[in-house]
Amino acid sequence: MSRSPARTGASMAVASMLCVQLGLAASVGLIDDIGASGAAWLRLFWAGILLLVIVRPRVRDYSREALVAGTALGVVTAGVTVLFMGAVARLPLGTASALEFLGPLAIAVVRSRGAGRAWALLAAVGVVFLTQPWTGDADPVGVALALGAAVCWAAYILLTQRVGDAVTGLGGLAISMPVAGLVATLVAGPGVVDHLTPELLVYGLGLAILLPVVPFTLELLALRRLTTGAFGTLMALEPAFALIIGFLALSQVPNGLAVAGIGLVVAAGIGAERSGSRDSGDERLEDGTPVDVVLGRPDELEAGSRHQ
């Protein structure tokens, strides 16, 4: 028996989150060498080049709408990457990820209905347990950067689904990643170039594959199968993964309440996976037509060779 689109999409989302957190943990050493914004820039720079080489996009194969959406996605991708790396340099990985999750949570609450909204609220409680904002010892600049990343992440989810629906294969990422690399270059590149060494360039290339190329590809495919509400709720698992990887790789030890928060967001993620398939027709166009009727099924989208 084949797996349901929701389960496949949820598996892709979970794999993406694991790649993201492993990539962030591996970036800590790079931050020490070239700073948070420099680490973000180097990853996006290589990611843009890799996608151009792999996909080899041609502008004439894209509709105007796809180009606009892909460009906007590139801008918010640069925003979420640069801002979040700045937050990680000032906050524990789990705290920064939990604050950033407020963006997907907002999408989940607004876009979900019935049980889906209940899972989103359960995830919110879990994130509060994870972050424990009442302790008051968080760096305010780090908090502001993480909240800025949250806004960009909310926009990223909406734009990724739009681009994934409008463009087959990895054509959408072939637009957004080079744009993200260009934006990051304008913001952080000039202050970093003089500090680069051949070793750092090679390390940045390998890191770019782990984050963002692989996870962003998985998220694009996941959002072809899941509603944005379900995807946003599943993202509650990311702070939990961050806490676990922060403990294993960075010796950041969580307390009992944080562990309870992990349990809540895992439960919410399971619930979202069971109720989040786009096959149900939850997401429709303005005239009420189900998205799948117009765009085709996820497997049909992946099989196409044109970029629309």
CA R_g for the chain: 19
Q: What is the rounded average pLDDT of the residues 121-130?
A: 86
Predicted confidence at residue 132, as pLDDT, reads 80
Q: Is residue 217 pLDDT above 90, yes or no?
A: yes
d(CA 20, CA 241): 9
Predicted confidence at residue 203, as pLDDT, reads 95
The model's confidence at residue 279, banded by pLDDT at 50, 70 and 90, is low
d(CA 204, CA 142): 23
Q: Is residue 98 pLDDT above 90, yes or no?
A: no
Predicted confidence at residue 275, as pLDDT, reads 66
Residues 6+ apart with CB under 8 A from 174: 51, 52, 54, 55, 56, 57
Higher pLDDT, residue 94 or 43: 43
Q: What is the pLDDT of residues 283-293, one digit of tens each?
A: 443 344 443 33
pTM of the model: 0.81
Higher pLDDT, residue 24 or 305: 24
What percent of the chain is predicted at pLDDT more than 70? 89
Q: Is residue 43 pLDDT above 80, yes or no?
A: yes
Q: What is the pLDDT of residues 169-185, one digit of tens each?
A: 999 999 999 999 999 99
